[in-house]
Every structure is written in C-alpha cells, then in structure tokens.
Amino acid sequence: MSTKKLAKELGLLRQRSQSSSGSKKSLVSNQIFSYLIVIDFESTCWREKNNYSQEIIEFPAVVLNTSSGDIESEFHTYVQPQERPILSEFCTELTGITQMQVEAGIPLQICLSRFCRWLQNLQLEKGVVFPNTQQRCSAPSPSQKLCTFLTWSGEDLIGLDNSCRRGLRV
C-alpha cells in the first residue's frame, strides 16, 4: 500500500473544500503535532511458512501537515535485500515491487543515512522537532513544530529494528 493511500485510509489526508469565493477553508485541528511522518515499509515475504528473516525492500515516508492535510515532503527509495536478494513471486504479487526495482535500490545503511539527512532538512526548513521527555514538560517555541512518526502497525518499527540489528552483525 502506498504511504499516501495509508494516510488517506487513516483519515489523515483530507480534501479541502472550496468556498463560493474560491478561497480554501482552513481545517481546524486539535492535534498537538504540527506534522506527522507516515511510514509504511514493504518487506520480503513468502507464501509458505519458513524461518527467513524479512528485509525492508521499500522505504517510503511522507510529511503530513496536520492543520492543512497537505503532504509537504516525501522520501522514497527501494532497498536491496542482502540475505535473500531474489524476491519471491508471492512478494512481487503482494507488494507490486519487482526484482528490477530492488536491484536498482540501495543498501539499507545508505537508505538510513539519506533518511536522516532528509529529517535534518525538515528540521531546518520547517522547524520540525521530535518530542522527548524534556520537551513534554515545556511547550515548544513558536518556531518549533512538533512532529511524530505514524505507522500502520508496530510491525514496521520491529522490522526496521531487526534489519538494523542484523546489519550490525555483518
């Protein structure tokens, strides 16, 4: 599922209505976060049960402005699986990702480096900040925009953690 489609299904992407004068109506949001980063990884998979570890093969993220419903930035790359580099037919059917796409992709370590750079640019360009325990005690400054991550399920983050841990052993 595309990250944009996930955001729409979760009700996070809204269509703005046009008033009779043609100006956009502002969306009201009581959301404490100014931005959400929606991620929805795709991983290797097989039809039959086995002991293979799943590897991330698609790394998409979008930045969603919670007050406007607009996607303001996107990150996307295909990732080369290292342990089982040949996708199963089932995986291609399920995800729509082809062998050619992952072969043209990049290793996860490089993907994560580029993703971190993308996040740093968001911090500089949009004033995005990620909450931590100190920030929860005090309100962000007006130039800071609170941001958090959103996934379809915890499985995305577990898969990322597992992939990173395997990379450390190599």
**Which tens digit of pLDDT belongs to each residue from 81-118?**
999 999 999 999 999 999 999 999 999 999 999 999 99
Superfamily of domain 31-169: Ribonuclease H-like superfamily/Ribonuclease H (3.30.420.10)
Q: Where are the domains of the chain?
A: 31-169
pLDDT beyond 50 at 132: yes
Q: What is the pLDDT of residue 165?
A: 84
Three-state SS at 147 = strand
pLDDT beyond 50 at 28: no
∠ Cα 25 29 30 (to 5°): 155
Torsion of CA 51, 56, 58, 60, to 10 degrees: 130
Average pLDDT, the chain: 84
Q: What is the pLDDT of residue 11?
A: 62
Buried-state track 138-153, b at ≥16 Cβ within 10 A, e below 16: eeeeeeebbbeebbee
Q: What is the pLDDT of residue 138?
A: 60
Identify the band that residue 19 occupies on the pLDDT scale cut at 50, 70 and 90. Answer: very low
Q: What is the pLDDT of residue 31?
A: 76
